[in-house]
Structure 1
């Protein structure tokens, strides 16, 4: 941990420890600054600001550099909420900028309905100090309140180091900070329990993350099929006829499925459908509930359906 904070200080030469003596400060880790999802969120926010303020001929290029003095935020407040404050248009001194931000953020917090200060993840000092984390939190809150139809990149998270400076030294901790929620979890999941399905969430991630999970499940499958001389290389295709799925279920659950109950070498879709239906019925009999899985989906090589079945088996038997 100490090495991490040392590396951070090396990369952020502008960090002044004395400037937040006695405070807790959140700083985005340098590795997270390069995260593609964060870059995409920044691009969307910059584009949103520029489209919103096009008539004012204001062009923002950097969230870190262009919002600290209050000019852009004041114009956004005017355009989105119809609030025009009696403040200077251009402020050159630090004290004037801070005074302007105090008025703007005070009005913004009211418009955003944030009366509880514990819920506010930004303040005048952070915005004026060009704190990217606080600036993004503020802009995301403004989008949600004033233009909820704007499609922000979902599930954007960054790793932050929390630094606390006191007379006894520096304490630090690393946490994950959520900038935007997952689209599914942001909705009312209590009335839509199927939205909590981990496979559906997995398939919304980057391709390399999906492949990593698929490889782990395939490794689990092949570990249990090796005694039968079978090997699975293509998850979608090799489970479509139901044969390997049935053999895997028998192997994991410890029972023998008579050969006359299924088609060992199915020659058409009807026989494949028979096998998969039998497999799902057997899983249901063992108490493994698989809601919203249609046998036809697996026969049709639907990745999500196949993954749901295999993940359920993996979750149940991986520790045995």
Structure 2
């Protein structure tokens, strides 16, 4: 009975999971990325982008970052990065072996960052304690700030936001609040093709993460088309004729498509293109799709185009029905 009981209180479970290895003292406030946001393709793409940027920048130092949380906490990579980008000389040892020395080193590095960026303490979205404890949210904010300052021309994936759980320890217990926090700048869709860029970066830079992205989208799709008695197990092929895509859009946006407007059993390529074109038009008209897509790409099983269409729906309706 315990799993059913816990599932009835998902927020409590999430908070307990976040704090199970840490102590929080009265009056203290902390925030964490909501576990449900960690599989967001936008966040995956940003992490991949930043790791590639660091590895390219520090290529001659033979430094390879594979995890932002695990590889940056001790200050070594940040030390090399600041010296390379800002031609700075930091008065600390390159390698600190003890935790105390690592924290002292990190404090010097972050103070230097604040001075370079001319930020007051109240403006900081990171801290020595958060970075050292491998807090992903703080690490992302720090890296994005460094990149924007030293390489403003860098094409950092825009519009990356995450769900955040804010936790405060009060005299009556833990107080939690769910909010949304932007990590990168929110640009108007007319100025960029952010969703397309995100998937281009993901497919190009992190093909090993593609299966994880597909599973998130597959779960989302089946959650809604399952109500129609349908089941999708292959994103690459089952959307090629546009039928399930149109039915999914209807389910999410709450309308019924006239059977005379599309081909329920398309028998030719032109009929499939007609269906997908109708779906693209619906997404464009609804403001969900900010980049034109060639319907023939979806019909021809172009993975990038198919994932982009599905992600447009996911980003808008991922919380629908929860």
| Residues 220/34 of structure 1: CA separation in 2 closer, same or farther (3 Å cut) | closer
Shift of 1:179: 1.4
Residue 96 of structure 1 is matched in structure 2 by 101
Q: Aligned partners of 1:50 and 1:217: how far apart in 2?
A: 41
Q: Aligned partners of 2:187 and 2:116: how far apart in 1?
A: 24
Residue 3 of structure 1 is matched in structure 2 by 9
Residue 250 of structure 2 is matched in structure 1 by 215
Q: Aligned partners of 1:34 and 1:307: how far apart in 2?
A: 23
| Residues 216/25 of structure 1: CA separation in 2 closer, same or farther (3 Å cut) | same
Farther-moved stretch of structure 1 (127-136 vs 5-14): 5-14
| Residues 145/220 of structure 1: CA separation in 2 closer, same or farther (3 Å cut) | same
Alignment TM-score, normalising by the size of structure 2: 0.59
Residue 180 of structure 2 is matched in structure 1 by 176
Q: Which has the higher contact order (CA 8 A, sep 6+)?
A: 2
- 2:152 aligned to which of 148, 151, 157: 148
Give secondary structure in 1 for the equivalent of 2:163: strand
Residue 39 of structure 1 is matched in structure 2 by 44
Q: Aligned partners of 1:175 and 1:183: how far apart in 2?
A: 20
Residue 161 of structure 2 is matched in structure 1 by 157
Q: Aligned partners of 1:303 and 1:168: how far apart in 2?
A: 51
Residue 66 of structure 1 is matched in structure 2 by 71
Shift of 1:125: 1.0
Q: Deviations over 1:229-263 (max 9, x none)?
A: x84237xxxxxxxxxxxxxxxxxxxxxxxxxxxxx
Shift of 1:6: 2.7
Q: What is the CA RMSD across the aligned residues, in angstroms? A: 3.7
Give secondary structure in 1 for the equivalent of 2:9: helix
Residue 261 of structure 2 is matched in structure 1 by 232
Q: Deviations over 1:64-122 (max 9, x none)?
A: 1111111111111111111111101111222211211111111111212323x332100
Give secondary structure in 2 for the equivalent of 1:233: coil
Structure 1: which 4+ aligned runs deviate by more than 3 Å?
9-15, 200-214, 216-222, 301-311
Give secondary structure in 1 for the equivalent of 2:53: helix
Shift of 1:148: 2.5
Residue 80 of structure 1 is matched in structure 2 by 85
Q: Aligned partners of 1:103 and 1:143: how far apart in 2?
A: 19
Query: Is the counterpart of residue 120 in structure 1 residue 124 in structure 2?
Result: yes
8 A Cα contact 2:33 2:162, kept in partner: yes
Q: Deviations over 1:1-31 (max 9, x none)?
A: 993343224544653133x542210111211
8 A Cα contact 1:46 1:62, kept in partner: yes
Residue 203 of structure 2 is matched in structure 1 by none
Give secondary structure in 2 for the equivalent of 1:17: coil
Give secondary structure in 1 for the equivalent of 2:188: helix
Q: Which blocks of at least 5 consecutive residues in structure 1 are unaligned?
A: 186-193, 235-300, 312-320
Farther-moved stretch of structure 1 (27-36 vs 127-136): 27-36
Greater Rg over alpha carbons, structure: 1
Q: Deviations over 1:267-304 (max 9, x none)?
A: xxxxxxxxxxxxxxxxxxxxxxxxxxxxxxxxxx7987
Count of residue correspondences: 229
Residue 27 of structure 1 is matched in structure 2 by 32
Q: Which blocks of at least 5 consecutive residues in structure 2 are unaligned?
A: 1-6, 200-216, 222-244, 264-276, 288-322
Give secondary structure in 2 for the equivalent of 1:87: coil
